[in-house]
A and B are shown apart, each in its own frame.
Chain A
Amino acid sequence: MAILEETVREIRKDIVKMIGKAASGHPGGSLSSAEILTLLYFEQMNVDENNPRKEDRDRFVLSKGHAAPVLYATLAAKGFFPRTELENLRQLGSMLQGHPDMNKVPGVDMSTGSLGQGISVAAGMALAGKMDNKSHKIYALLGDGELQEGLVWEAAMAASHYQLNNLIAFVDNNNLQIDGAICEVMSPFPIDAKFEAFGWNVITVEDGHDFDELRTAVEAAKKSEDKPTVIICKTVKGKCVSFMENNAGWHGKGPNAEEVKQALAELEA
Protein backbone atom coordinates (compact mmCIF):
# COMPACT_ATOMS: atom_id res chain seq x y z
CA MET A 1 0.00 0.00 0.00
CA ALA A 2 2.74 2.40 0.95
CA ILE A 3 4.37 1.53 -2.34
CA LEU A 4 1.30 2.62 -4.29
CA GLU A 5 1.17 5.87 -2.31
CA GLU A 6 4.84 6.50 -3.01
CA THR A 7 4.39 5.63 -6.70
CA VAL A 8 1.44 7.93 -7.21
CA ARG A 9 3.32 10.74 -5.53
CA GLU A 10 6.19 10.32 -7.99
CA ILE A 11 3.75 10.13 -10.88
CA ARG A 12 2.14 13.40 -9.77
CA LYS A 13 5.54 15.06 -9.55
CA ASP A 14 6.38 13.89 -13.05
CA ILE A 15 3.04 15.19 -14.34
CA VAL A 16 3.71 18.65 -12.93
CA LYS A 17 7.32 18.68 -14.11
CA MET A 18 6.62 17.54 -17.65
CA ILE A 19 3.71 19.91 -18.20
CA GLY A 20 5.76 22.73 -16.70
CA LYS A 21 8.64 21.94 -19.04
CA ALA A 22 6.32 21.72 -22.05
CA ALA A 23 4.55 24.90 -20.91
CA SER A 24 1.32 23.34 -22.11
CA GLY A 25 -0.80 20.29 -21.42
CA HIS A 26 -3.59 19.16 -19.13
CA PRO A 27 -2.63 18.95 -15.46
CA GLY A 28 -6.10 19.02 -13.83
CA GLY A 29 -7.51 15.81 -15.26
CA SER A 30 -4.12 14.10 -15.12
CA LEU A 31 -3.81 14.69 -11.38
CA SER A 32 -7.43 13.66 -10.73
CA SER A 33 -6.94 10.22 -12.29
CA ALA A 34 -3.46 9.39 -10.98
CA GLU A 35 -4.61 6.81 -8.41
CA ILE A 36 -6.75 5.02 -11.02
CA LEU A 37 -3.81 4.53 -13.38
CA THR A 38 -1.39 3.71 -10.57
CA LEU A 39 -3.65 0.97 -9.23
CA LEU A 40 -4.19 -0.47 -12.70
CA TYR A 41 -0.58 -0.51 -13.88
CA PHE A 42 1.09 -1.34 -10.57
CA GLU A 43 -1.35 -3.85 -9.21
CA GLN A 44 -4.29 -4.88 -11.32
CA MET A 45 -3.28 -5.12 -14.96
CA ASN A 46 -1.37 -7.95 -16.57
CA VAL A 47 1.17 -5.99 -18.61
CA ASP A 48 4.83 -6.50 -19.40
CA GLU A 49 7.00 -3.44 -19.82
CA ASN A 50 9.51 -5.60 -21.70
CA ASN A 51 6.88 -6.89 -24.12
CA PRO A 52 4.37 -4.06 -24.48
CA ARG A 53 2.29 -5.81 -27.13
CA LYS A 54 2.13 -9.29 -25.67
CA GLU A 55 -1.06 -10.84 -26.83
CA ASP A 56 -2.78 -11.81 -23.60
CA ARG A 57 -2.13 -8.50 -21.84
CA ASP A 58 -4.85 -6.41 -20.31
CA ARG A 59 -5.51 -3.27 -22.36
CA PHE A 60 -5.97 0.29 -21.22
CA VAL A 61 -7.61 2.96 -23.37
CA LEU A 62 -7.28 6.54 -22.20
CA SER A 63 -10.55 7.73 -23.70
CA LYS A 64 -9.94 11.13 -22.12
CA GLY A 65 -6.75 11.34 -24.16
CA HIS A 66 -5.86 14.85 -23.02
CA ALA A 67 -4.80 13.31 -19.70
CA ALA A 68 -1.80 11.92 -21.61
CA PRO A 69 0.67 13.14 -18.94
CA VAL A 70 -0.72 10.77 -16.31
CA LEU A 71 -0.47 7.87 -18.76
CA TYR A 72 3.07 8.80 -19.79
CA ALA A 73 4.22 9.26 -16.21
CA THR A 74 2.69 5.93 -15.22
CA LEU A 75 4.18 4.04 -18.17
CA ALA A 76 7.59 5.58 -17.48
CA ALA A 77 7.36 4.71 -13.79
CA LYS A 78 6.47 1.16 -14.78
CA GLY A 79 9.52 0.99 -17.03
CA PHE A 80 7.98 1.02 -20.51
CA PHE A 81 10.42 3.78 -21.46
CA PRO A 82 12.99 5.96 -19.65
CA ARG A 83 11.64 8.69 -17.37
CA THR A 84 14.00 11.16 -19.02
CA GLU A 85 11.75 10.92 -22.10
CA LEU A 86 9.07 12.80 -20.12
CA GLU A 87 11.10 15.98 -20.57
CA ASN A 88 10.24 15.87 -24.28
CA LEU A 89 6.48 16.04 -23.83
CA ARG A 90 4.85 17.95 -26.71
CA GLN A 91 8.19 18.77 -28.33
CA LEU A 92 8.78 18.46 -32.06
CA GLY A 93 9.92 14.95 -32.89
CA SER A 94 8.98 13.55 -29.46
CA MET A 95 7.18 10.25 -29.06
CA LEU A 96 5.16 11.94 -26.32
CA GLN A 97 2.58 13.73 -28.40
CA GLY A 98 0.03 16.07 -26.85
CA HIS A 99 -2.38 13.13 -27.02
CA PRO A 100 -1.30 9.47 -26.91
CA ASP A 101 -0.06 7.80 -30.10
CA MET A 102 -0.03 4.00 -29.96
CA ASN A 103 2.52 3.77 -32.73
CA LYS A 104 5.01 5.99 -30.97
CA VAL A 105 4.80 5.14 -27.28
CA PRO A 106 5.53 1.65 -25.91
CA GLY A 107 2.63 0.59 -23.71
CA VAL A 108 -0.03 2.82 -25.26
CA ASP A 109 -2.77 0.49 -26.49
CA MET A 110 -4.78 3.01 -28.51
CA SER A 111 -4.29 6.47 -29.97
CA THR A 112 -6.85 8.76 -28.40
CA GLY A 113 -7.62 12.39 -27.88
CA SER A 114 -10.85 13.00 -29.71
CA LEU A 115 -13.37 12.48 -26.93
CA GLY A 116 -15.90 9.68 -27.02
CA GLN A 117 -13.89 7.52 -29.38
CA GLY A 118 -11.75 5.60 -26.88
CA ILE A 119 -14.67 3.87 -25.21
CA SER A 120 -16.03 2.84 -28.61
CA VAL A 121 -12.64 1.38 -29.55
CA ALA A 122 -12.41 -0.31 -26.15
CA ALA A 123 -15.77 -1.95 -26.84
CA GLY A 124 -14.34 -3.29 -30.11
CA MET A 125 -11.30 -4.62 -28.27
CA ALA A 126 -13.57 -6.32 -25.74
CA LEU A 127 -15.65 -7.84 -28.52
CA ALA A 128 -12.48 -9.25 -30.09
CA GLY A 129 -11.52 -10.74 -26.72
CA LYS A 130 -14.93 -12.40 -26.49
CA MET A 131 -14.70 -13.79 -30.01
CA ASP A 132 -11.37 -15.39 -29.18
CA ASN A 133 -12.41 -16.59 -25.71
CA LYS A 134 -9.65 -14.59 -24.11
CA SER A 135 -9.62 -13.81 -20.41
CA HIS A 136 -7.86 -10.45 -20.51
CA LYS A 137 -9.70 -7.28 -19.54
CA ILE A 138 -10.13 -4.01 -21.38
CA TYR A 139 -9.94 -0.95 -19.16
CA ALA A 140 -10.96 2.52 -20.29
CA LEU A 141 -10.89 5.89 -18.60
CA LEU A 142 -13.50 8.49 -19.47
CA GLY A 143 -13.83 12.06 -18.35
CA ASP A 144 -17.14 13.20 -16.89
CA GLY A 145 -17.37 16.00 -19.44
CA GLU A 146 -16.64 13.39 -22.10
CA LEU A 147 -19.99 11.79 -21.31
CA GLN A 148 -21.53 14.65 -23.29
CA GLU A 149 -20.29 12.98 -26.47
CA GLY A 150 -23.05 10.96 -28.13
CA LEU A 151 -20.62 8.25 -29.18
CA VAL A 152 -20.10 7.29 -25.53
CA TRP A 153 -23.71 6.19 -25.42
CA GLU A 154 -23.62 4.39 -28.75
CA ALA A 155 -20.68 2.43 -27.36
CA ALA A 156 -22.41 1.93 -24.01
CA MET A 157 -25.44 0.45 -25.77
CA ALA A 158 -23.30 -1.91 -27.83
CA ALA A 159 -21.14 -3.01 -24.87
CA SER A 160 -24.19 -4.07 -22.97
CA HIS A 161 -25.86 -5.62 -26.03
CA TYR A 162 -22.81 -7.81 -26.64
CA GLN A 163 -22.50 -8.57 -22.88
CA LEU A 164 -18.93 -7.34 -22.74
CA ASN A 165 -18.21 -8.17 -19.11
CA ASN A 166 -14.51 -7.96 -19.97
CA LEU A 167 -14.87 -4.19 -20.38
CA ILE A 168 -14.29 -2.05 -17.29
CA ALA A 169 -14.67 1.70 -17.74
CA PHE A 170 -13.79 4.36 -15.18
CA VAL A 171 -15.36 7.79 -15.11
CA ASP A 172 -13.06 10.43 -13.65
CA ASN A 173 -15.83 12.45 -12.07
CA ASN A 174 -13.99 15.61 -11.07
CA ASN A 175 -16.97 17.80 -11.92
CA LEU A 176 -15.07 20.26 -14.11
CA GLN A 177 -14.53 20.64 -17.83
CA ILE A 178 -12.62 23.25 -19.77
CA ASP A 179 -15.43 25.80 -19.84
CA GLY A 180 -16.42 25.35 -16.20
CA ALA A 181 -18.53 23.09 -13.99
CA ILE A 182 -19.99 20.15 -15.87
CA CYS A 183 -23.40 20.73 -14.33
CA GLU A 184 -23.39 24.28 -15.69
CA VAL A 185 -21.94 23.56 -19.14
CA MET A 186 -24.07 20.47 -19.86
CA SER A 187 -24.96 18.20 -17.01
CA PRO A 188 -24.25 14.51 -17.54
CA PHE A 189 -25.97 13.67 -14.26
CA PRO A 190 -27.23 11.25 -13.12
CA ILE A 191 -24.25 9.30 -14.41
CA ASP A 192 -24.98 6.09 -12.49
CA ALA A 193 -28.62 5.88 -13.54
CA LYS A 194 -27.71 6.53 -17.16
CA PHE A 195 -25.25 3.64 -17.27
CA GLU A 196 -27.70 1.45 -15.37
CA ALA A 197 -30.35 2.24 -17.94
CA PHE A 198 -27.88 1.26 -20.66
CA GLY A 199 -27.50 -2.14 -19.02
CA TRP A 200 -24.18 -1.70 -17.25
CA ASN A 201 -22.99 -2.92 -13.88
CA VAL A 202 -22.45 0.35 -11.97
CA ILE A 203 -20.07 0.88 -9.07
CA THR A 204 -19.55 4.23 -7.39
CA VAL A 205 -16.28 5.04 -5.67
CA GLU A 206 -16.84 7.86 -3.20
CA ASP A 207 -13.15 8.70 -3.01
CA GLY A 208 -11.38 8.13 -6.30
CA HIS A 209 -8.05 8.82 -4.60
CA ASP A 210 -8.42 5.92 -2.13
CA PHE A 211 -6.62 2.81 -3.34
CA ASP A 212 -8.63 0.48 -1.10
CA GLU A 213 -11.91 1.74 -2.46
CA LEU A 214 -10.66 1.59 -6.05
CA ARG A 215 -9.32 -1.93 -5.55
CA THR A 216 -12.61 -3.18 -4.13
CA ALA A 217 -14.41 -1.71 -7.13
CA VAL A 218 -12.07 -3.25 -9.72
CA GLU A 219 -12.23 -6.64 -8.06
CA ALA A 220 -16.00 -6.52 -8.08
CA ALA A 221 -15.99 -5.40 -11.71
CA LYS A 222 -13.85 -8.38 -12.72
CA LYS A 223 -16.57 -10.67 -11.38
CA SER A 224 -19.33 -9.21 -13.51
CA GLU A 225 -20.92 -12.13 -15.33
CA ASP A 226 -22.64 -10.64 -18.32
CA LYS A 227 -22.41 -6.88 -18.11
CA PRO A 228 -19.74 -4.29 -18.75
CA THR A 229 -18.86 -2.35 -15.62
CA VAL A 230 -18.50 1.36 -15.06
CA ILE A 231 -16.69 2.56 -11.97
CA ILE A 232 -17.70 6.15 -11.31
CA CYS A 233 -14.91 7.73 -9.31
CA LYS A 234 -15.52 10.93 -7.43
CA THR A 235 -12.26 12.80 -7.76
CA VAL A 236 -10.73 16.22 -7.29
CA LYS A 237 -9.47 17.98 -10.38
CA GLY A 238 -5.85 19.03 -9.85
CA LYS A 239 -5.60 16.75 -6.78
CA CYS A 240 -2.67 17.37 -4.40
CA VAL A 241 -1.66 20.72 -5.87
CA SER A 242 -3.53 23.28 -3.78
CA PHE A 243 -3.84 26.03 -6.35
CA MET A 244 -4.97 23.61 -9.05
CA GLU A 245 -7.56 21.75 -6.99
CA ASN A 246 -11.14 22.23 -8.15
CA ASN A 247 -10.11 24.94 -10.57
CA ALA A 248 -11.26 24.60 -14.18
CA GLY A 249 -8.59 27.13 -15.12
CA TRP A 250 -6.05 24.33 -14.72
CA HIS A 251 -7.79 22.02 -17.17
CA GLY A 252 -5.40 22.73 -20.00
CA LYS A 253 -2.65 25.09 -18.92
CA GLY A 254 1.03 24.62 -18.09
CA PRO A 255 2.35 25.93 -14.75
CA ASN A 256 5.24 28.44 -14.85
CA ALA A 257 8.55 27.79 -13.10
CA GLU A 258 7.40 29.30 -9.81
CA GLU A 259 4.17 27.32 -9.88
CA VAL A 260 6.04 24.10 -10.65
CA LYS A 261 8.29 24.77 -7.66
CA GLN A 262 5.35 25.35 -5.37
CA ALA A 263 3.51 22.28 -6.66
CA LEU A 264 6.55 20.05 -6.18
CA ALA A 265 7.07 21.41 -2.69
CA GLU A 266 3.50 20.51 -1.84
CA LEU A 267 3.86 17.05 -3.37
CA GLU A 268 7.04 16.40 -1.43
CA ALA A 269 5.62 17.62 1.83
Chain B
Amino acid sequence: MAEKKSTRQAYGEYLVKLGEKNQNLVVLDADLSGATKTNIFKKACPERHFNVGIAEANLMGMSAGLATAGKIPFASTFAIFGAGRAYEIIRNSICYPKLNVKIALTHSGISVGEDGGSHQSIEDIALMRVIPNMTVLSPADAIETEKMMDAAIAIDGPVYIRLGRSDVPILFDEDYQFELGKAGLLKSGEDVTVIATGMMVGPALEAAELLKAEGISARVLNMGSIKPIDVNAIEDAAINTGAIVTAEEHSIIGGLGGAVAEVLGDVAPVPLERVGVKDLFGQSGKVAPLMEKYGLTAKDIVAAAKKAIARK
Protein backbone atom coordinates (compact mmCIF):
# COMPACT_ATOMS: atom_id res chain seq x y z
CA MET B 1 0.00 0.00 0.00
CA ALA B 2 1.45 3.31 -1.09
CA GLU B 3 1.98 6.04 1.45
CA LYS B 4 -0.85 8.54 1.51
CA LYS B 5 -0.99 12.27 2.06
CA SER B 6 -3.48 14.97 1.12
CA THR B 7 -2.35 17.63 -1.32
CA ARG B 8 -3.42 20.33 1.17
CA GLN B 9 -1.06 18.86 3.75
CA ALA B 10 1.76 18.82 1.22
CA TYR B 11 0.93 22.43 0.34
CA GLY B 12 1.09 23.63 3.94
CA GLU B 13 4.35 21.83 4.61
CA TYR B 14 6.05 22.94 1.42
CA LEU B 15 5.03 26.58 1.93
CA VAL B 16 7.50 26.63 4.81
CA LYS B 17 10.35 25.54 2.56
CA LEU B 18 9.38 27.90 -0.25
CA GLY B 19 9.06 30.74 2.25
CA GLU B 20 12.57 30.12 3.53
CA LYS B 21 13.92 30.41 0.00
CA ASN B 22 11.83 33.40 -0.98
CA GLN B 23 11.42 36.23 1.50
CA ASN B 24 8.75 37.90 -0.65
CA LEU B 25 6.39 34.98 -0.18
CA VAL B 26 3.40 35.87 2.01
CA VAL B 27 0.42 33.70 2.87
CA LEU B 28 -3.15 34.89 3.28
CA ASP B 29 -6.01 32.84 4.61
CA ALA B 30 -9.68 33.44 5.38
CA ASP B 31 -10.25 31.78 8.74
CA LEU B 32 -9.57 28.29 7.43
CA SER B 33 -5.85 28.05 8.10
CA GLY B 34 -6.31 24.82 10.07
CA ALA B 35 -8.11 23.19 7.15
CA THR B 36 -6.05 24.68 4.31
CA LYS B 37 -2.90 23.85 6.31
CA THR B 38 -1.46 27.33 5.96
CA ASN B 39 -1.28 27.25 9.76
CA ILE B 40 1.87 25.17 9.29
CA PHE B 41 3.42 28.19 7.57
CA LYS B 42 1.97 30.50 10.19
CA LYS B 43 3.73 28.58 12.92
CA ALA B 44 7.05 28.79 11.09
CA CYS B 45 6.69 32.35 9.86
CA PRO B 46 3.94 34.27 11.68
CA GLU B 47 5.05 37.70 10.39
CA ARG B 48 4.31 36.66 6.82
CA HIS B 49 0.93 35.00 7.43
CA PHE B 50 -2.25 37.10 7.40
CA ASN B 51 -5.67 35.88 8.36
CA VAL B 52 -8.17 38.26 6.80
CA GLY B 53 -11.14 36.63 8.50
CA ILE B 54 -14.17 35.23 6.74
CA ALA B 55 -13.88 37.62 3.80
CA GLU B 56 -12.82 35.85 0.62
CA ALA B 57 -13.32 38.83 -1.68
CA ASN B 58 -10.97 40.89 0.48
CA LEU B 59 -8.57 37.92 0.62
CA MET B 60 -8.12 38.26 -3.14
CA GLY B 61 -8.15 42.06 -3.22
CA MET B 62 -5.49 42.41 -0.54
CA SER B 63 -3.41 39.72 -2.22
CA ALA B 64 -3.52 41.79 -5.40
CA GLY B 65 -2.38 44.87 -3.48
CA LEU B 66 0.51 42.98 -1.87
CA ALA B 67 1.55 41.73 -5.30
CA THR B 68 1.77 45.29 -6.67
CA ALA B 69 4.45 45.87 -4.03
CA GLY B 70 6.55 42.87 -5.05
CA LYS B 71 5.21 40.37 -2.55
CA ILE B 72 4.25 36.91 -3.79
CA PRO B 73 0.99 36.14 -2.03
CA PHE B 74 -0.35 32.61 -1.71
CA ALA B 75 -4.06 33.10 -1.06
CA SER B 76 -5.86 30.13 0.43
CA THR B 77 -9.37 29.16 1.36
CA PHE B 78 -11.75 26.43 0.17
CA ALA B 79 -12.17 26.16 -3.61
CA ILE B 80 -15.87 26.91 -3.41
CA PHE B 81 -15.27 30.27 -1.69
CA GLY B 82 -12.11 31.26 -3.52
CA ALA B 83 -13.05 30.35 -7.08
CA GLY B 84 -16.74 30.87 -6.43
CA ARG B 85 -17.48 33.79 -4.15
CA ALA B 86 -14.32 35.72 -4.99
CA TYR B 87 -14.42 34.93 -8.69
CA GLU B 88 -14.74 38.43 -10.00
CA ILE B 89 -12.04 39.82 -7.72
CA ILE B 90 -9.70 37.16 -9.11
CA ARG B 91 -10.83 38.08 -12.60
CA ASN B 92 -10.59 41.85 -12.39
CA SER B 93 -8.03 42.62 -9.69
CA ILE B 94 -5.62 39.70 -10.18
CA CYS B 95 -5.85 38.33 -13.72
CA TYR B 96 -6.80 41.47 -15.64
CA PRO B 97 -3.70 43.33 -14.35
CA LYS B 98 -1.72 40.04 -14.40
CA LEU B 99 -0.61 40.34 -10.81
CA ASN B 100 1.66 37.79 -9.25
CA VAL B 101 -0.80 36.05 -6.93
CA LYS B 102 -0.89 32.30 -6.34
CA ILE B 103 -4.38 31.09 -5.55
CA ALA B 104 -4.11 27.77 -3.75
CA LEU B 105 -7.56 26.48 -2.93
CA THR B 106 -8.22 23.35 -0.95
CA HIS B 107 -11.30 21.16 -0.51
CA SER B 108 -11.96 20.95 -4.23
CA GLY B 109 -14.29 18.30 -5.60
CA ILE B 110 -16.72 15.98 -3.86
CA SER B 111 -13.94 14.36 -1.80
CA VAL B 112 -14.67 17.12 0.71
CA GLY B 113 -17.05 14.45 1.96
CA GLU B 114 -19.36 15.03 4.89
CA ASP B 115 -19.73 18.81 4.54
CA GLY B 116 -21.90 18.12 1.52
CA GLY B 117 -22.83 19.75 -1.77
CA SER B 118 -22.67 23.35 -0.57
CA HIS B 119 -18.96 22.93 0.10
CA GLN B 120 -17.98 20.61 -2.75
CA SER B 121 -16.54 22.66 -5.58
CA ILE B 122 -17.11 20.96 -8.92
CA GLU B 123 -16.83 24.13 -11.03
CA ASP B 124 -13.51 25.69 -10.03
CA ILE B 125 -11.39 24.37 -12.91
CA ALA B 126 -13.94 25.73 -15.37
CA LEU B 127 -14.11 29.09 -13.61
CA MET B 128 -10.37 29.54 -13.31
CA ARG B 129 -9.30 28.30 -16.72
CA VAL B 130 -11.63 30.59 -18.63
CA ILE B 131 -9.87 33.69 -17.31
CA PRO B 132 -7.12 35.15 -19.54
CA ASN B 133 -3.62 35.29 -17.96
CA MET B 134 -4.46 32.45 -15.54
CA THR B 135 -2.45 29.26 -15.21
CA VAL B 136 -4.34 26.25 -13.80
CA LEU B 137 -2.53 23.40 -12.05
CA SER B 138 -4.09 20.30 -10.56
CA PRO B 139 -1.63 18.06 -8.68
CA ALA B 140 -2.19 14.33 -8.42
CA ASP B 141 -0.27 13.78 -5.21
CA ALA B 142 1.91 15.37 -2.54
CA ILE B 143 5.07 15.32 -4.64
CA GLU B 144 3.43 16.89 -7.65
CA THR B 145 1.99 19.55 -5.33
CA GLU B 146 5.51 20.57 -4.33
CA LYS B 147 6.77 20.57 -7.91
CA MET B 148 3.82 22.65 -9.02
CA MET B 149 4.43 25.16 -6.24
CA ASP B 150 7.99 25.53 -7.54
CA ALA B 151 6.59 26.03 -11.05
CA ALA B 152 3.99 28.50 -9.80
CA ILE B 153 6.51 30.71 -8.06
CA ALA B 154 8.64 30.76 -11.21
CA ILE B 155 5.73 32.27 -13.15
CA ASP B 156 5.31 36.05 -12.94
CA GLY B 157 1.53 36.07 -12.94
CA PRO B 158 -1.57 34.48 -11.48
CA VAL B 159 -1.67 30.73 -10.90
CA TYR B 160 -4.49 28.57 -9.57
CA ILE B 161 -3.44 25.42 -7.72
CA ARG B 162 -6.29 22.97 -7.05
CA LEU B 163 -5.87 21.03 -3.81
CA GLY B 164 -7.84 18.31 -2.08
CA ARG B 165 -8.92 17.49 1.42
CA SER B 166 -8.61 13.73 1.48
CA ASP B 167 -5.50 11.60 1.63
CA VAL B 168 -4.37 10.28 -1.73
CA PRO B 169 -1.60 7.78 -2.56
CA ILE B 170 1.83 9.20 -3.31
CA LEU B 171 2.42 8.27 -6.94
CA PHE B 172 5.68 10.04 -7.69
CA ASP B 173 9.12 10.09 -6.13
CA GLU B 174 11.37 13.06 -5.44
CA ASP B 175 12.94 12.78 -8.89
CA TYR B 176 9.61 13.53 -10.57
CA GLN B 177 9.84 16.49 -12.94
CA PHE B 178 6.80 18.63 -13.55
CA GLU B 179 6.86 20.69 -16.72
CA LEU B 180 4.32 23.44 -17.30
CA GLY B 181 2.10 22.68 -20.29
CA LYS B 182 3.28 19.07 -20.53
CA ALA B 183 1.30 15.94 -19.79
CA GLY B 184 3.09 13.16 -17.98
CA LEU B 185 3.09 9.79 -19.73
CA LEU B 186 2.47 7.32 -16.91
CA LYS B 187 1.75 4.29 -19.02
CA SER B 188 2.09 3.49 -22.69
CA GLY B 189 -0.82 1.96 -24.57
CA GLU B 190 -2.42 1.64 -27.99
CA ASP B 191 -6.16 1.11 -27.80
CA VAL B 192 -7.33 4.06 -25.76
CA THR B 193 -5.86 6.95 -23.75
CA VAL B 194 -7.02 7.87 -20.27
CA ILE B 195 -6.23 11.50 -19.47
CA ALA B 196 -6.60 12.11 -15.76
CA THR B 197 -5.95 14.92 -13.33
CA GLY B 198 -5.75 15.34 -9.56
CA MET B 199 -6.98 12.51 -7.40
CA MET B 200 -8.32 10.64 -10.46
CA VAL B 201 -4.80 9.81 -11.63
CA GLY B 202 -4.61 6.90 -9.18
CA PRO B 203 -7.90 5.36 -10.37
CA ALA B 204 -6.78 5.91 -13.97
CA LEU B 205 -3.69 3.77 -13.38
CA GLU B 206 -5.84 1.16 -11.69
CA ALA B 207 -8.24 1.20 -14.63
CA ALA B 208 -5.35 0.61 -17.04
CA GLU B 209 -4.47 -2.55 -15.10
CA LEU B 210 -8.09 -3.74 -15.19
CA LEU B 211 -8.25 -3.07 -18.93
CA LYS B 212 -4.98 -4.90 -19.47
CA ALA B 213 -6.49 -7.98 -17.83
CA GLU B 214 -9.19 -7.82 -20.49
CA GLY B 215 -6.65 -7.47 -23.28
CA ILE B 216 -7.09 -3.70 -23.76
CA SER B 217 -3.97 -1.59 -23.91
CA ALA B 218 -4.54 1.84 -22.33
CA ARG B 219 -2.20 4.82 -22.39
CA VAL B 220 -2.39 6.92 -19.24
CA LEU B 221 -1.57 10.62 -19.21
CA ASN B 222 -1.40 12.80 -16.12
CA MET B 223 -2.69 16.23 -17.10
CA GLY B 224 -1.59 18.25 -14.10
CA SER B 225 -1.15 21.36 -16.20
CA ILE B 226 -4.71 22.08 -17.23
CA LYS B 227 -3.85 25.52 -18.55
CA PRO B 228 -1.70 25.67 -20.55
CA ILE B 229 -2.79 22.22 -21.72
CA ASP B 230 -0.58 19.83 -23.66
CA VAL B 231 -2.15 20.00 -27.11
CA ASN B 232 0.54 17.80 -28.65
CA ALA B 233 0.02 14.98 -26.17
CA ILE B 234 -3.74 15.05 -26.75
CA GLU B 235 -3.30 15.10 -30.51
CA ASP B 236 -0.82 12.24 -30.38
CA ALA B 237 -3.17 10.22 -28.17
CA ALA B 238 -6.03 10.84 -30.57
CA ILE B 239 -4.04 9.86 -33.63
CA ASN B 240 -2.29 6.86 -32.14
CA THR B 241 -4.91 5.38 -29.81
CA GLY B 242 -8.09 6.65 -31.51
CA ALA B 243 -10.20 7.00 -28.36
CA ILE B 244 -9.94 9.19 -25.27
CA VAL B 245 -11.32 9.08 -21.75
CA THR B 246 -10.92 12.01 -19.36
CA ALA B 247 -11.13 11.53 -15.60
CA GLU B 248 -11.48 14.34 -13.09
CA GLU B 249 -13.10 15.05 -9.77
CA HIS B 250 -14.97 18.00 -11.25
CA SER B 251 -18.00 18.62 -13.41
CA ILE B 252 -17.75 17.07 -16.86
CA ILE B 253 -18.65 20.55 -18.09
CA GLY B 254 -15.79 22.99 -18.45
CA GLY B 255 -13.06 21.11 -16.61
CA LEU B 256 -10.43 18.72 -17.92
CA GLY B 257 -13.03 16.92 -20.06
CA GLY B 258 -14.16 20.22 -21.51
CA ALA B 259 -10.60 21.34 -22.16
CA VAL B 260 -9.70 18.07 -23.90
CA ALA B 261 -12.91 18.20 -25.97
CA GLU B 262 -11.93 21.69 -27.14
CA VAL B 263 -8.51 20.47 -28.23
CA LEU B 264 -9.91 17.38 -29.95
CA GLY B 265 -12.41 19.53 -31.80
CA ASP B 266 -9.58 21.74 -32.98
CA VAL B 267 -6.99 19.18 -33.99
CA ALA B 268 -8.17 15.58 -34.11
CA PRO B 269 -11.78 14.62 -33.39
CA VAL B 270 -12.01 11.09 -32.00
CA PRO B 271 -14.51 9.48 -29.57
CA LEU B 272 -14.25 11.06 -26.11
CA GLU B 273 -15.87 9.85 -22.90
CA ARG B 274 -15.76 12.15 -19.89
CA VAL B 275 -15.61 10.64 -16.41
CA GLY B 276 -16.53 13.28 -13.85
CA VAL B 277 -19.45 14.73 -11.94
CA LYS B 278 -22.38 14.73 -14.35
CA ASP B 279 -23.84 18.22 -13.98
CA LEU B 280 -25.04 17.43 -10.47
CA PHE B 281 -24.35 18.83 -7.02
CA GLY B 282 -22.66 16.56 -4.53
CA GLN B 283 -23.93 15.53 -1.12
CA SER B 284 -22.73 14.45 2.32
CA GLY B 285 -21.06 11.12 2.75
CA LYS B 286 -17.78 9.33 3.22
CA VAL B 287 -15.33 9.82 0.39
CA ALA B 288 -15.25 6.28 -1.05
CA PRO B 289 -19.03 5.83 -1.31
CA LEU B 290 -19.33 9.35 -2.73
CA MET B 291 -16.80 8.54 -5.43
CA GLU B 292 -18.80 5.43 -6.26
CA LYS B 293 -22.13 7.20 -6.21
CA TYR B 294 -20.89 9.90 -8.59
CA GLY B 295 -19.11 7.52 -10.95
CA LEU B 296 -15.54 8.45 -10.13
CA THR B 297 -13.85 5.08 -9.73
CA ALA B 298 -11.47 2.89 -11.72
CA LYS B 299 -14.48 0.79 -12.75
CA ASP B 300 -16.17 3.85 -14.21
CA ILE B 301 -13.04 4.66 -16.18
CA VAL B 302 -12.93 1.07 -17.49
CA ALA B 303 -16.54 1.28 -18.65
CA ALA B 304 -15.90 4.65 -20.29
CA ALA B 305 -12.81 3.29 -22.07
CA LYS B 306 -14.77 0.40 -23.52
CA LYS B 307 -17.49 2.76 -24.64
CA ALA B 308 -14.99 5.09 -26.31
CA ILE B 309 -13.30 2.18 -28.07
CA ALA B 310 -16.67 0.87 -29.29
CA ARG B 311 -17.37 4.27 -30.84
CA LYS B 312 -14.19 4.21 -32.96
Contact = CB atoms under 8 A, between A and B. Distances in A.
Given A127-B66, A128-B71, A151-B61, A158 B98 contact: no
A126 interface: yes
A101 B97 CA distance: 7
Contact of A157 (B55, B68, B89, B98): B55
Contacts, number: 106
Contact of A125 (B47, B55, B57, B65): B65
A129 interface: yes
B68 A125 contact: yes
A132 B89 contact: no
B67 to A, nearest CB: 8
Contacts of A150: 57
Interface in A74-113: 101-103, 109-113
A269 interface: no
A114 B62 contact: no
Contacts of A59: 68
Which of under 10, 10 to 19, 20 to 34, or 35 or more describes the interface residues of B?
20 to 34
B69 A120 contact: no
Main SS class of interface, B: helix
Given A124-B65, A131-B71, A151 B57 contact: yes
A127 B62 contact: yes
B50 interface: yes
Given A120-B61, A124-B64, A125-B66, A111 B93 contact: yes
Contacts of A207: none
B52 interface: yes
A221 to B, nearest CB: 19
B66 A128 contact: yes
Interface of A: 59, 101-103, 109-114, 116-117, 119-129, 131-132, 150-151, 154-155, 157-158, 161-162
Given A103-B98, A109-B68, A125-B69, 6 more contacts: A123-B65, A126-B65, A128-B70, A154-B57, A154-B58, A155-B61
Interface of B: 26, 47-48, 50, 52-53, 55, 57-58, 60-71, 73, 88-89, 92-93, 96-98
